[in-house]
């Protein structure tokens, strides 16, 4: 596992393609350095996404608009939460509608 991760990291650095690397690594979460502490923190935390869905149902695009991020980023984060059984999705035409497990 260590060798594979090293090669993955080496590939990312040599190609400078952060988006591609994030897609290759399903557990990567968009992160930003905190100006005060200098530590990295998640940009779109589980709590922030869950609070958006609390008591309501939103499409992937609506979540992306509220988070001010790309629809693909919102979908990836919502899918991770669905894998953890914190949210559920239902297909409505070509749109996924998301809600928290509590509201389902």
Tens of pLDDT along the chain (104 residues) come to 445 555 555 555 544 444 444 444 444 555 556 667 776 555 778 899 999 999 999 999 999 999 888 899 899 999 999 999 999 999 999 999 999 977 65
Picking from 78, 73, 38, the residue whose alpha carbon sits closest to that of residue 58 is: 78
Q: Is residue 26 domain-shared with residue 52, that is, in the same domain?
A: no
Q: Is residue 22 domain-shared with residue 67, that is, in the same domain?
A: no
Q: How far apart are CA 63 and CA 30, in angstroms?
A: 16
Name the residue range of residue 19's domain: 1-43
Q: Is residue 51 domain-shared with residue 98, that is, in the same domain?
A: yes
Q: For the chain, how many residues are written?
A: 104
Q: What is the pLDDT of residue 103?
A: 63
> Per the confidence metrics, is the pTM higher than 0.75?
no
* Domains in the chain, number: 2
* Tokens of residue 13, six digits: 């650095």
3-state helix, strand, coil in the chain (%, to 5): 50, 20, 35
Q: Is residue 7 domain-shared with residue 33, that is, in the same domain?
A: yes
Q: What is the pLDDT of residue 1?
A: 44
Contacts of 104 (CB under 8 A, 6+ apart): 88
Domain boundary among 43, 59, 74: 43
């Amino acid at each position: 596992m260590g060798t594979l991760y090293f090669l993955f990291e080496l590939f990312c650095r040599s190609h400078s393609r952060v988006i591609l690397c994030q897609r290759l690594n399903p557990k990567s979460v968009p992160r930003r350095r905190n100006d005060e502490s200098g530590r990295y923190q998640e940009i779109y935390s589980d709590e922030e996404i869950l609070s958006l869905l609390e008591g309501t149902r939103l499409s992937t695009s609506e979540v992306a608009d509220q988070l001010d991020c790309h629809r693909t980023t919102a979908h990836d984060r919502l899918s991770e939460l669905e894998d953890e059984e914190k949210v559920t999705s239902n297909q409505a035409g070509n749109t996924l509608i998301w809600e928290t497990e509590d509201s389902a």
